[in-house]
Amino acid sequence: MKIAILGAGNLGLSIAKGLIVNNAFTTLYLSKRKVDNIKDYEEYSKVSVTSDNLEAVNNSDILIFAVQPTQLEGILEEIKDVLTDKHVLISTVTGFKIPRIEAIVGEDQFIIRSMPNTAIAVGKSMTCLCSNKKGEKRIAIAEAIFNRLGSSIIIPENKMQAATVICASGVAFWMRLIRATTQGAVQLGFDAKEAQELSMQTCLGAASLLIESGKHPEEEIDKVTTPRGCTIEGLNEMEHNGLSSSLIQGIQASFKKINSISDQ
């Protein structure tokens, strides 16, 4: 696959790393206005770095847009006249809806919206996808790309904002939980490095248990909470202090914010 990432910033470079590590492209163009700090990527075979979006588009089939929401319109205007039937447009841009993309490039383009997260850099992104009518014919290509770099599901476009909060912002939420449990471990006597290792691996183990067994979290919690034991003591104290409620309220606040900044 000949892929271009237009907007090689935090997310764009995370996608690039995932593609490079997984050898998941034929050629890869990375575009950015100022390319000095991404020139190193040209050391990888078949990777080109450019500030010329038209060069990237003309030499690629799959166009992944990873610019800020206020930058997408300009870049679509810039490249729309060189789009051909070979191009599949994949936008990762938050809150920029398909009808607005179609209004710029036309309905007759294969348009896909994708919401990955930064774990794509290590091939572990949970990515949600949706498309315009024409894009339904090419969404399998997007699934193939994002399944190489984690897992993907197809959802209706009206759930993309919610998916952004749970999956994209979600990485930051889980990081904070890992940091908090690390701090707890330090207080119990582990040094910082050991504490983070214990916290990360336990988090990975808990998620893996659910992924591999398909079970509900409470079923696994029941196996850990010895009657009158330390686990239920700690868990109940966390809940008295609003653990679940605080997380749900944070998710709601994040969702309210994304709806306030997205196009209608």
Ligand X SMILES: NC(=O)C1=CN([C@@H]2O[C@H](COP(=O)(O)OP(=O)(O)OC[C@H]3O[C@@H](n4cnc5c(N)ncnc54)[C@H](O)[C@@H]3O)[C@@H](O)[C@H]2O)C=CC1
Ligand Y SMILES: O=C(O)[C@@H]1CCC=N1
CB of 59 to ligand Y, least distance (A): 29
Q: By CB under 6 A, is residue 147 in contact with ligand X?
A: no
Q: By CB under 6 A, is residue 10 in contact with ligand X?
A: yes
Q: By CB under 6 A, is residue 164 in contact with ligand Y?
A: yes
> Which region among 87-95, 100-108, 221-229, 256-264 touches ligand X (by CB under 6 A)?
87-95
> Which region among 59-67, 119-127, 164-172, 218-226 touches ligand Y (by CB under 6 A)?
164-172
Closest CA to 261 of 148, 131, 97: 97
Phi, psi at residue 3, to the nearest 5°? -115, 140
Neighbours of 262 (CB within 10 A): 16
User: What is d(CA 50, CA 30) in angstroms, rounded to the nearest whole number?
Assistant: 6
> Which region among 115-123, 203-211, 221-229, 230-238 touches ligand X (by CB under 6 A)?
115-123
User: What is d(CA 178, CA 199) in angstroms, rounded to the nearest whole number?
Assistant: 6
Closest CA to 56 of 4, 17, 16: 4
Q: By CB under 6 A, is residue 152 in contact with ligand X?
A: no
User: What is d(CA 127, CA 129) in angstroms, rounded to the nearest whole number?
Assistant: 7
CB of 183 to ligand Y, least distance (A): 24
Kindly tell me which residue out of 14, 92, 94, 182 binds ligand Y, with binding defined by CB under 6 A.
94
From residue 219, give the alpha-carbon distance in Å to each of 72, 212, 215: 45, 14, 7
* Nearest residue to the partner ligand X, using Cβ: 9
User: What is d(CA 49, CA 7) in angstroms, rounded to the nearest whole number?
Assistant: 11
CB of 94 to ligand Y, least distance (A): 4
Q: By CB under 6 A, is residue 98 in contact with ligand X?
A: no
Q: Which of residues 117 and 196 has its CB atom nearest to ligand X in the complex?
A: 117
H/E segment holding residue 5: strand 2-6
> Which region among 5-13, 21-29, 137-145, 202-210 touches ligand X (by CB under 6 A)?
5-13
3-state SS class at 131 = strand
Q: Which residues bind ligand Y (CB under 6 A)?
A: 94, 164, 168-169
